[in-house]
Amino acid sequence: MEFRVDRQRLAEAVAWAARTLPSRPALPVLAGMLIEVTGDGELTLAGFDYEVSAHSRVEADVAEPGRALVPGRLLAEIVRNLPAQPVEVFTKASEVVLRCGPAEFGLLTMPVEDYPTLPEPPARAGTVPGDLFAAAVAQVVPAAGRDDTLPMLTGVRIDIEGDTMWLACTDRYRIAARELTWSPSDPAFTAGVVVPARTLADTAKAIRPGAEVAIDLAGTADTLIGVSGGGRSMTSRLLDDQYINYRSRLAGTWASIAEIDTAPFVEALKRAALVTERGTPIRLSFTAGEVRISAASGDSARANESLAVDLTGDDVEVAFSPQYLLDGLAGIDTPRTRLECAGPTKASLLTAIPEEEDSEAADTGYRYLVMPVRLTS
């Protein structure tokens, strides 16, 4: 095996493939990164931990095709610190040698024949603009659960019906959902799967900006999903597809509807959160034309601030975990936010107010339902 490649391209490709390398591999070979070059000038790097695989492909000047397995994390560290010059990579005896300018490294190869067969992605289900997909995933993953004893809640639910895709996460205390339009290969395609949230978030964030993302999915009976774009791809095992009916919970009758400027609201909440301790809520008191934001940490500190608000319906006082509220507001990218409440003990809904309110197409498709903290006084 012998090839020459641009250092920056190599560094990006290695970093992508290294994302799946386990810190404590069940088998020593799983700590390895597979390097493959073909006679037609394609370099592929891959990592796999039996749950998730990551591939990256770049062009290279190939003198001799071949494949080798080397310690992945060490390779990533070395490539990241190489000088900004082309990198020559070749095998020599039991080593893979990297030569870049005055620097030369030798990595002892691992037994490539012991490396597991990389999973093949399912059939192509459709495509979606990469920037749109990355933004949608980023909006919902803050609401994913962190408790691995409830695997379903640690995932992103993806529902597909024709050209409509829904993404949703919940940790039982909140639901974040995003509806978007994509381009299915089959207009009649439907699916409902749960993908590990951390894996999907890392993948969506790292897809090259401007690239089109392809989703590989065979349907609801499949056990694997593939996501690719810009020369980078991943496959992941799916989680149990049993999931709550989140869409029905996002519809409700609201006794109070408040509309407020997003940025000042976020800043005021951050200031009030400075005096809260773990588990201490922020209290919002909505009246006609005003919302009073207050928080206290026992007798040691307190915060109070008022903002202008347009309120329709009843006056209401409701309290939330400051971080839960800020996570929901982070998904809103419009100047104005709508908070809909059904009372101080019932879930409230955060949505973005389209700048063109009369345009149905202007709806951002983002919904964030959050449970309040019960007020004690």
Alpha-helical (H) ranges within 229-347 are 246-249, 262-273, 322-330
Whether the predicted pLDDT of 241 surpasses 90? no
Instruction: Give me the percent of the chain exceeding a pLDDT of 90.
Output: 80
Residue 211 has what pLDDT? 85
Cβ atoms 194, 155 nearer than 8 A? yes
Whether the predicted pLDDT of 361 surpasses 60? no
* Strand intervals (E) in 242-300: 256-261, 282-287, 290-297
Please state which of the ranges 249-253, 309-313, 346-350 shows the lowest mean pLDDT: 249-253
3-state secondary structure of 269: helix
Whether the predicted pLDDT of 129 surpasses 90? yes
| 256, β-bridge pairs | 313, 341
Q: What is the mean pLDDT of residues 300-329?
A: 94
Q: What is the mean pLDDT of residues 205-230?
A: 85
Residue 347 has what pLDDT? 95
Residue 44 has what pLDDT? 96
Whether the predicted pLDDT of 358 surpasses 60? no
CA dist., res. 18 & res. 26, Å (int): 16
Residue 218 has what pLDDT? 82
Whether the predicted pLDDT of 199 surpasses 60? yes
Write the pLDDT tens digit of every residue in 243-296: 889 999 998 889 999 999 999 999 999 999 999 888 789 999 999 999 999 998
Write the pLDDT tens digit of every residue in 49-68: 999 999 999 999 999 999 99
Whether the predicted pLDDT of 359 surpasses 70? no
For the chain, the average pLDDT equals 92
Q: What is the mean pLDDT of residues 158-176?
A: 96
Residue 221 has what pLDDT? 59
Q: Which of 76, 86, 3, 79 is nearest to 37 (CA)?
A: 3
Q: How confident is the model at residue 360 (pLDDT cuts 50, 70, 90)?
A: low
Residue 100 has what pLDDT? 96
Residue 219 has what pLDDT? 65
Whether the predicted pLDDT of 194 surpasses 90? yes
Residue 357 has what pLDDT? 55
pTM: 0.89
Please state which of the ranges 95-109, 185-199, 287-301 shows the lowest mean pLDDT: 287-301
Cβ atoms 185, 126 nearer than 8 A? yes
Write down the number of H helices and E strands in the chain.
7, 27
Residue 355 has what pLDDT? 80
Q: How confident is the model at residue 298 (pLDDT cuts 50, 70, 90)?
A: confident
Q: What is the mean pLDDT of residues 99-110?
A: 96
Write the pLDDT tens digit of every residue in 13-23: 999 999 889 88
CA torsion sign for 326, 332, 335, 341 is negative
Instruction: Give me the percent of the chain exceeding a pLDDT of 70.
Output: 97
Residue 294 has what pLDDT? 94
Whether the predicted pLDDT of 176 surpasses 80? yes
Give the HSE-up count for residue 13: Cα atoms under 13 Å, Cβ half-sphere.
Answer: 23
Residue 377 has what pLDDT? 58
Write the pLDDT tens digit of every residue in 38-50: 999 999 999 999 9
Q: How confident is the model at residue 374 (pLDDT cuts 50, 70, 90)?
A: confident
Give backbone dihedrals phi and psi of 254, rounded to 5 degrees, phi first.
-110, 125
* Residue 99 vs residue 206, higher pLDDT: 99
